[in-house]
Structure 1
Amino acid sequence: MVMKPKDIFITHLKKSISISESDEILVRTYFIERELKKKEILLFAGKESCHMQFIAKGSLRAYYLDEDAKEHIVQFGIEEWWVNDLYSYLTKTPATQYIQALEDSIILQIHRDKLNELYDLVPAIERFFRLKFEKAYVAFQNRTINSMSKTAEERYEEFRTKYRAIEQRVPQYMVASYLGITPEFLSAIRKKTI
C-alpha cells in the first residue's frame, strides 16, 4: 500500500516527537502539498527562502553557481529529508542557492509565518525543528571539516557508505560536484574502488 504524502510526513514527525491526534490533524492542515516535475526549480538564487520543505517523494538538489557559472552541489535530498537554503530562510535574506527537482517529486511545505503559528499551537513541532536544525548544523560542520581534512577518495568512500540510495539515483557528474572534484577524477576513483 502506497502511503499518502501527509501520512509519510506524520510518520516522519513521530520518529522524533509525540503528538496527539488533534495536533496531528492541525499539523496536516498547515503543510501544503506541492508536486514538482523533473528539473523544475523550487527556489531560485536571489529569492528569499520562506518555506521549510519536506520531501515526501522524489529527489532534489541544492546548488549554487560560481562566478564562471559552474554548478556546485551543496545538498541532495530524497524521501523523508528536508531541503532548503537554510541561511536564507533563517536570516530572511536572498538565497544563494537554487533548489531543483531531480525526479518528479512531491514536497510538503510550510511558510515561515505559518510555522511560527504552529509552534504556538503545537509546541512539540518547535522541538522537532530545533532537533532538525541541530542535526543540519552538525552535518554542515562535519562536511566542512571533511572537505578540508580528507582526501577525495576518503570523501567518496564516506559518501558511498552514508548515501548509497542517493549515489544510485543521481548522475555521477552531480556526485562529483557534491564532492568538489571533476567527473573524470571521480571516474578514476571509482575504477580503483570497484
Structure 2
Amino acid sequence: MHSDNSKISDVFKDLSFSEAEIEIIESVMFKIDLKKGIKIIKAGDTVKDMYFVLQGCLRAFHIDIHGKEHTVQFAIKGWWITDFTAFFTESKAIMDLEVLRDATIYRLSKDDREYMFSQIPATETFIRKKLENAYAAFQKRILRNLSQSASQRYVNFVKDFPNIEKNIKNYHIASYLGITTESLSRIRKEITRH
C-alpha cells in the first residue's frame, strides 16, 4: 500500500483501492488548513471546487437583498460542502462559504472529480450516495421549516448537530433555524425550564 493512505481512510471509509487508484486519488484531492473567518467562496464567484471537512466547521450562507444572512448548511467532520447550485450548474455562487472553526479540508475540483470518477467508478458511487443523503436531509429540513415550530426545529438541530452548538455563534444557529437570536434565547430558556 501507499505510504500516505490518509485521504483514502478519511474520505472513502470502507473502500479499498489498488496502488494505482490510491495515486489517482492523492493526485486530485488537496489538503488545506484554514483559519476561522476565512471565506472560501463569496457570492458571485465561479465555483469549481467541492470540499470535504476533515476537522473544523464550515457554513454555507446566503445574504438576502435586505442584508439578512440565511445559513443553508453547516459542515463538520466527514461532510462535503460547497455552493452546490453553482458547482453543478456552472452558474455564479449565490452563497458564501465561511470557516467557523479552524478547519482542515480536502479540495476536489470539478474536473479532477470527473477524472477520478472515470478512472475509479467506486468513488463516484460513494460520493453520489453521500450527496443523495445530503439531498434527503435538505428536503427534511425544508419540511421541518414549513411545518414545525421554532422550538421543534431547535430540538432537531441539537439532535442533528450534537457537538456543534457550543462551537458556533448564536446568530449562525438562529439564521439556520430561520429565527432571531432573541427567539433562540427564549426557546433555550423554555427548554431548560422543562
**What's the % identity of the aligned pairs?**
35
Q: Distance in 1 between matches of 2:5 and 2:181?
A: 37
- Alpha-carbon shift at residue 6 of structure 1 (Å): 6.9
> Could you list the per-position Cα deviations for residues 129-161 of structure 1 after superposition, in whole angstroms to 9, with x for gaps in the alignment?
211221121011111111001110100001111
> Could you list the per-position Cα deviations for residues 96-128 of structure 1 after superposition, in whole angstroms to 9, with x for gaps in the alignment?
000011122121111101111111111111111
Is 1:33–1:106's contact at 8 Å kept on the other side of the alignment? yes
Is 2:25–2:116's contact at 8 Å kept on the other side of the alignment? yes
Matched, 1:179 2:182: no
3-state DSSP of counterpart to 1:104: strand
Matched, 1:90 2:96: no
Gaps of 5+ in 1: none
Residue matched to 1:188: 186
3-state DSSP of counterpart to 2:167: coil
Residue matched to 1:79: 77
Residue matched to 1:129: 127
Residue matched to 1:150: 148
- Alpha-carbon shift at residue 22 of structure 1 (Å): 3.3
Q: Distance in 2 between matches of 1:14 and 1:113?
A: 19
- Runs of 4+ aligned structure 1 residues displaced above 4 Å come to none
Map 1:1-194 → 2, pairs under 5 A: 7=6, 9-15=7-13, 17-194=15-192
Gaps of 5+ in 2: none
Q: Which amino acid aligns with 1:183?
A: T
Given the two structures, how large is their TM-score scaled by the length of structure 1? 0.91
Q: Distance in 1 between matches of 2:101 and 2:154?
A: 23
Aligned residues: 189
Is 1:62–1:85's contact at 8 Å kept on the other side of the alignment? yes
- Alpha-carbon shift at residue 193 of structure 1 (Å): 0.8
Q: Distance in 2 between matches of 1:76 and 1:105?
A: 13
Q: Distance in 1 between matches of 2:5 and 2:106?
A: 8
Name whichever of 21-30 and 55-64 sits farther off.
21-30
Is 1:6–1:108's contact at 8 Å kept on the other side of the alignment? no
Q: Distance in 2 between matches of 1:148 and 1:16?
A: 37
Given the two structures, how large is their TM-score scaled by the length of structure 2? 0.91
Q: Aligned-residue CA RMSD in angstroms?
A: 1.6
> Could you list the per-position Cα deviations for residues 67-107 of structure 1 after superposition, in whole angstroms to 9, with x for gaps in the alignment?
11111111111122111111111101011000011122121
